[in-house]
Amino acid sequence: MIEIKHVSKVYPGNKKAVDDISVTINDGEIVGFIGPNGAGKTTTIKMITGVLNPNEGQILINGIDIVKEPLKAKMEFGLVPDQADIFLRLKGIEYLNFIADMYEIDGSLRKQRIAQLAQAFEMSAALNDKILSYSHGMRQKIVIMGVLICDPRVWILDEPMTGLDPQSSFRLKEKMREHASRGNTVFFSTHVLEVAEKLCDKVAIINHGRIVFFGTLEELKAMHPNCTTLEELFLEVVEHA
Amino acid sequence: MRKYFSLTKTLLKSGYQVTDAKSKKWFKVFLYLLLAVCFLPLLGVIYFAVEAALPAYARMDQSATVLGSLLFLSCIIIFIFSLFLIPSIFYFSSDLDTLLALPLKSNQIIGAKFTVCVLYEYLFSASILIPAYLAYWNYGDMPVMFLPFGIITILLLPIFPLVLSTLFTIVLMRFVPFFQNRDRFNLVTSILLVALGLGFSIFMNSQGTQDESAMLKALFAGGNSLLDVFIKFFPIIPYFAKAIVEGSVPDLFLAIGITIIALAVLMSAGKLLYFKGAIGSGESSASHKELSERKLSKASRKGNKIWTYLKKDFKVIWRTPAYFTNCLLMVVLFPVMVLAMPLLSQGEGMEAFDLGILIQTIERSDEFLAYVIFFSLALGFLFGTFNQIAATAISREGAQYSVMKYLPMSYRDQIHAKLLLGVLVGLIADIAMALSAMLFLPFSWYYYLIFCGCSAITTLLGNSYSIMLDLAKPKLVWEQEAAAVKQNLGSFIAVMIGMALCIVLIVVCFFIPQAWLMVSAFGALAAMCILALLFYFLAGKYAERAMRKL
Ligand SMILES: Nc1ncnc2c1ncn2[C@@H]1O[C@H](COP(=O)(O)OP(=O)(O)OP(=O)(O)O)[C@@H](O)[C@H]1O
Ligand SMILES: [Mg+2]
């Protein structure tokens, strides 16, 4: 469960990047976060994960305040950041074990998960190489695997599908659905409306730092009956907010 | 031609910067002034050396020889430095991928990049030649065209050595694929560079010459066959020298002609070879081998968080050539240098007395232990922080620092892990120094144990304040890893503080009255202990505050 309460963020010398947003994502839900470039998605995710401090408002993850009890809160979620070029000098296997140690995952459990996920994402042959030698999509995959291996209750993913091949993208969606069905929370940003439609229980649409819609797609469609396609719907909401 | 000019302009603008983009203007000016002040003595040395050498040569009607030597010095410096610079500019720079995709001819890319290099090298040619010109001018009796020809020389001289090193690099990159890997290339060249520096200092030592002006004089000494050979590499030198000193126009034209021919050769070689070498100069290699079951099990053991974090940081340093040479290689080379020094300076009155007997006498004095403690504490600051691991701990993360913020590990623990890595490498340096000193300073072994123990304390203290300095103002915006360690003001200050503390401690202990020596030594030891522990905890506390603000 993620509770975002009246959160705002102002970058120094800039307008409000995130302006008084409130969203509650319940257990067992997959919520998609969509909006135009520069709308404030990454900024919001950075605040949820403690990378940025909000100027106003409060964020709770499974009831734990990220600002007041950062360490406890961080154990509750795993993050796939928008920029996957991290730890390039480590080998894939070393990265996974580093992350697993951070989340205090047991040895036998992690070994089993690593083997399983490497199979699923076709990364077995790459684990022994440095991440520096990976392609863009492979880097994305290793970061995703890092989260899946630790399997925290809340998954927060910033554009996780970019660069993934159809197969891996499918596997990831499968895992996300599985995770949510076990009563956990998944929150991810995306620009692919079809993914949002097929996968999400709810979507949050953000524009110019404000939430312009939060709810199920059915509700959204009901609100704009003249829109036939998702694209039209999205443009309508963003432009006439 | 238009494309060439606009590309040159763009490259210059996005080029090398000492400070990060956020620094104030006055700060940049200050830095350049500081650099200039550091350079001044060198310029003075050149001036006085020329002034001293000139009369004798002029009497033999050979005043061009002196200038020739300096032209040679500029050429060889430019050549050697550019050997390391050219590959990173022509092959490993991050703009290459973009440039290769643009509709540009290889000559336009090479031309623009080459021009940028030439502009940078003017710093060398001007700072060596201007003092020499001044000395000539003061000596008097110079031709009318001395000044204009001199300026033309400063402007044209760097081209020839740069053509040589660029040609060398282009051929190497085209035909020796081993060097197409940036990491490998950086590692090989930086080890070479350090070895070269070491070799040069050993050479200086073995010459038994104390001041540089004597060195230069030795260089001027005629009949030096090695010099003659080297000058053959730069055939422009005699012509430029004659043109300036005798005002001879034909010589100037000859020099310019050779330079133009060299450029033409470079351009045609570039046309043939550059793209083939540049395309596919990759970053890293991959084996694509499956991980064996046994290896997987071995790798997937649960570990202590701090230890895991420390190991991660160490691996990154070990595998990043820029960090490896700056943070680790020095630890190995420093003791080697210490070892080499007495061996080389032998024969300069060293064997006039027996070191062993001297040491025994010193050891017997009552206050010897006090001196050992003071020196150990002092040297612990120096050797312990020399590696800059703690001083660049956050800077090295660069744009990736946000990972530190979302990892479920407290900032205190993360900083302590980074700090402890610095302490560990510092301790290794302390011990290595003790071991290499043991070989030629036959003090009793337990003094070396005391050294290791005492220096460990100040090593901890030094690393603690170093990491706090980096926490306060980390340099997070950089293009290449080398910038995080080499162009980092904070870590520079940290090393300077370490040196200052070391010197202060050593100087102070000689001013303490004998009766107080023992007491003050143990007092200093206790104080350092308390300070070290205090700063260690403070660093952890400060981490929580500083990291939140980043
Ligand atoms: N480090 C920063 N400093 C100043 N302003 C920033 C910074 N990062 C983002 N911004 C501004 O904040 C706003 C929101 O940016 P954000 O990265 O959250 O957008 P986003 O929704 O993730 O966009 P995208 O879809 O392109 O990823 C933008 O207007 C951007 O200019
Ligand atoms: Mg974003």
The pLDDT tens digits of the residues spanning B383-442 come to: 888 889 999 999 999 989 999 999 999 999 999 999 999 999 999 999 988 888 887 778
- Alpha-carbon gap, residue A23 to A145, rounded angstroms: 27
Determine the atom of ligand 1 nearest the C-alpha atom of A39: 21
* Per-residue model confidence (pLDDT) at position B15: 59
Q: What is the ipTM of this complex?
A: 0.89
- Alpha-carbon gap, residue B456 to B258, rounded angstroms: 59
Residue nearest to atom 3 of ligand 1 (CA): A11
Residues of B in contact with A53 (CB under 8 A): 548
Q: Is the pLDDT of residue A78 over 60?
A: yes
**Winning range, highest mean pLDDT, from B190-204, B277-291, B457-471, B512-526:** B457-471
CB contact under 8 A, A110 and B300: yes
* Span of A44-53, B65-74, B250-259 with lowest mean pLDDT: B65-74
Residue B24, number of CB atoms within 10 A of its CB: 9
Residues in CB range of B293: below 8 A, 6 or more apart:
none
Residues in CB range of B438: below 8 A, 6 or more apart:
B445, B448
Q: CATH 3.40.50.300 in chain A: give the residue spans.
A: 1-76+153-164+177-241
Give burial (CB, 10 Å; 0-12/13-18/19+) of B320: buried
CB contact under 8 A, B403 and A81: yes
* Per-residue model confidence (pLDDT) at position B228: 63
Q: Is the pLDDT of residue A27 over 90?
A: yes
Average pLDDT of the segment spanning B366-371: 86
* Per-residue model confidence (pLDDT) at position B87: 79
* Per-residue model confidence (pLDDT) at position B436: 83
Average pLDDT of the segment spanning A109-134: 91
Determine the atom of ligand 1 nearest the C-alpha atom of A40: 18
Asked if B300 is an interface residue toward chain A (Cβ–Cβ < 8 A), one would say: yes
- Alpha-carbon gap, residue B405 to A50, rounded angstroms: 6
Pocket of ligand 1 contains residue A184 by CB under 6 Å: no
Q: Is the pLDDT of residue A241 over 70?
A: no
Pocket of ligand 1 contains residue A37 by CB under 6 Å: yes
Q: What are the structure tokens assigned to B168, written together? A: 């060398």
Average pLDDT of the segment spanning B490-505: 90
CA B33 to chain centre: 20
Q: How far, in Å, are B77, B98, B103, B171 from residue B93 at the CA level? A: 22, 10, 18, 18
The single-letter DSSP state of residue B398 is G
Residue holding tokens 């050769």?
B265
Determine the atom of ligand 1 nearest the C-alpha atom of A41: 21
Determine the atom of ligand 1 nearest the C-alpha atom of A13: 4
Q: Is the pLDDT of residue B349 over 60?
A: no
Residue holding tokens 């020839």?
B160
HSE, side-chain direction, 13 A CA sphere, residue B204: 13
CB contact under 8 A, A83 and B399: yes
Q: What is the CATH number of domain A1-76+153-164+177-241?
A: 3.40.50.300
* Per-residue model confidence (pLDDT) at position B348: 46
For the entire predicted model, the pTM comes to 0.76
* Per-residue model confidence (pLDDT) at position B214: 53
Residue B511, number of CB atoms within 10 A of its CB: 6
* Per-residue model confidence (pLDDT) at position B347: 46
State which H helix or E strand residue A150 sits in: helix A136-150
Q: Do the Cβ atoms of A171 and A147 come closer than 8 Å?
A: no
HSE, side-chain direction, 13 A CA sphere, residue B531: 17
B161 vs B299, which has greater pLDDT? B161
Q: Hey, is A17 helix, strand or coil?
A: strand
- Alpha-carbon gap, residue B374 to B380, rounded angstroms: 10
Residue B509, number of CB atoms within 10 A of its CB: 20
- Alpha-carbon gap, residue B533 to B464, rounded angstroms: 9
- The closest ligand to the CA of A33 turns out to be 1
Pocket of ligand 1 contains residue A40 by CB under 6 Å: yes
Pocket of ligand 1 contains residue A238 by CB under 6 Å: no
Cβ-Cβ pairs closer than 8 A, A with B, add up to 104
CB contact under 8 A, B315 and A128: no
Distance A209 CA to ligand 1 centre (A): 10
Residue holding tokens 């038994």?
B208
* Per-residue model confidence (pLDDT) at position B218: 55
Residues of A in contact with B484 (CB under 8 A): none
Residue nearest to atom 22 of ligand 1 (CA): A42
pLDDT one-digit tens code per residue, B89-133: 888 776 777 787 788 888 888 899 899 889 888 888 888 899 989
- Alpha-carbon gap, residue B110 to B116, rounded angstroms: 10
Residue nearest to atom 1 of ligand 1 (CA): A11
Choose the closest CB to B286 out of A75, A101, A133. A133
Rounded to the nearest angstrom, the minimum Cα separation between A12 and chain B is: 12
Pocket of ligand 1 contains residue A98 by CB under 6 Å: no
Q: What are the structure tokens assigned to B96, written together? A: 């290459």
Distance B145 CA to ligand 2 centre (A): 63
